[in-house]
């Protein structure tokens, strides 16, 4: 697989060089009066690629299209040459309706002066069949007004199917494991209550702790699979975030107490003239269960990666926004890692993450559920100074 990627990268790079030579020799006007040998060389390289390659001139007409692109689009090479890309590379939505120009990636590259864009699209071929495609569009020079582009198309039907099969397996396996895990936890709890030997009791407690971690692993895998399958549909309602978090505090305190961490909860309350504490209403319209799951994942990460100090949960906001934050006094995260933390299965490569285990799904799940509820999530951290994760939701005016 790595060899294939290397050869493909080299092939595309060589194609780019040859296309640049073609443009230089033709004074930026690709094809009309090309040297036949140079044109044949570029065409040969494009035909040798297993991915679809399409070269567009400054007017958006197709000047080179390889066999892979021909197979994907359903257009014979001779028929596609000199046609406008809109006739051959037909990008549609999930209902097989053509995308309007305002959200078409080609238009985006041209009007926003972007040099390269990579995007997952749905291609409708000549037979009106929908095919999931990974598409890369690159300008052949840095001139903002240039419309000459190299398009790379890759059929991802197989990977989509494998992703679906993997999600189905994870969902089934996770669901089936929940019942025996729950049973084991129940029996261990009974054993803990009846054990009189301190040594045996310590063994049972450790087994119970590890079983809990295993249960959370399967729960996270199941939630991740549901996100992939589009089954995590939000059921929005208007509620006070303060009430939701207050109900979760006792459970969260059990987690922090287990690691001898101090728990702080800032509910945004203020003191009136009579000295009474007033807790403001932080109302949002979202799925309360999913918001609770977001907080649960963030707290779990904070506790897991904080060896000493405290974990703080807070709420604040203004007339437009309600913000929830989870702050810890852990080791912090390097700035180079922060952009990747919301990726599935991404884990920091250090001794702390290896010792604490985990799958790297917590932040992925948190972001996925935040997106489903039209929220925004981001991370602030500095090595040696802890981490803060903030989640914003639109404030409800009801």
pLDDT in tens, 338-395: 888 888 877 776 555 545 556 678 899 999 999 999 999 999 998 989 999 999 999 9
For 250-295, the pLDDT digits (tens) are 999 999 998 999 999 998 776 555 656 677 889 999 999 999 999 9
Let me know: does 283 contact 238? Beta carbons within 8 Å: yes
DSSP-derived letter for residue 340 is G
Q: Within 13 Å, how many C-alpha atoms sit on residue 56's CB side?
A: 25
- Residue 278 pairs in a beta bridge with 270
Report the pLDDT averaged over residues 320-348: 88
Q: For residue 97, give the DSSP letter.
A: P
What local confidence, expressed as pLDDT, does residue 25 receive?
A: 38
DSSP string, 125-192: -TT--EEEEEEEEEESSS-TT---EEEEEEE-HHHHHHHHHHHHHHHHHHHHHHHHHHHHHHHHHHHH
Encode pLDDT of 204-237 as tens digits.
888 877 887 787 777 787 777 777 767 778 899 9
Report the alpha-carbon distance of residue 136 to residue 89 in Å, rounded.
12
Task: Look at the pTM and tell me if it is higher than 0.75.
Answer: no
**Are the beta carbons of 311 and 296 closer than 8 angstroms?**
no
> Rounded to 5 degrees, what are φ and ψ at 302?
-60, -45
Dist CA 42 CA 110 (whole Å)? 24
Give strand pairing partners of 171.
none
């Amino acid at each position: 697989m790595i060899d294939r990627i290397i050869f493909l990268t080299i092939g595309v790079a060589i194609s780019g060089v040859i296309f640049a030579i073609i443009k230089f020799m033709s004074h930026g006007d690709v094809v009309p009066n090309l040297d036949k040998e140079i044109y044949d060389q570029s065409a040969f390289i494009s035909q040798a690629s297993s991915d679809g390659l399409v070269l567009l001139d400054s007017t958006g007409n197709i000047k080179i299209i390889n066999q892979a692109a021909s197979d994907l689009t359903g257009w014979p090479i001779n028929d596609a040459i000199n046609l406008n890309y809109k006739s051959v590379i037909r990008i549609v939505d999930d209902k097989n309706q053509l995308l309007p120009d305002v959200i078409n990636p080609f238009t985006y590259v041209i009007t926003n002066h972007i040099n390269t864009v990579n995007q997952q699209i749905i291609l409708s071929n000549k037979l009106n069949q929908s095919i999931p495609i990974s598409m890369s569009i690159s300008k052949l020079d840095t001139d903002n007004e240039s419309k000459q582009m190299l398009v790379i198309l890759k059929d991802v039907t197989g990977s989509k199917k494998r992703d679906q099969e993997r999600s189905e397996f994870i969902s089934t396996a996770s669901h089936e494991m929940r019942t025996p895990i729950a049973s084991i936890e129940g029996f261990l709890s009974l054993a803990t209550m009846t054990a009189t030997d301190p040594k045996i009791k310590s063994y049972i407690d450790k087994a119970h702790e590890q079983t809990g971690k295993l249960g959370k692993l399967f729960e996270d895998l199941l939630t991740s699979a549901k996100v992939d399958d589009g089954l995590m549909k939000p059921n929005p309602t208007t509620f006070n975030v303060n009430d939701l978090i207050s109900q979760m505090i006792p459970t969260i305190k059990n987690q922090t107490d287990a690691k001898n961490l101090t728990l702080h909860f800032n509910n945004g309350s203020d003191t009136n003239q009579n000295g009474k504490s007033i807790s403001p209403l932080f109302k949002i319209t979202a799925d309360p269960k999913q918001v609770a799951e977001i907080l649960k994942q963030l707290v779990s990460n904070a506790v897991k990666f904080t060896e000493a100090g405290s974990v703080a949960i807070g709420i604040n906001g203004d007339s437009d926004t309600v913000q929830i934050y989870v702050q810890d006094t852990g080791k912090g995260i390097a700035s180079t890692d922060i952009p990747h933390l919301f990726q599935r299965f991404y884990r920091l490569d250090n001794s702390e993450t290896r010792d604490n285990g985990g799958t790297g799904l917590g932040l992925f799940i948190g972001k996925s559920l935040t997106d489903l509820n039209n929220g925004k999530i981001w991370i602030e951290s500095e090595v040696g100074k802890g981490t803060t994760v903030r989640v914003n939701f639109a404030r409800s005016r009801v």
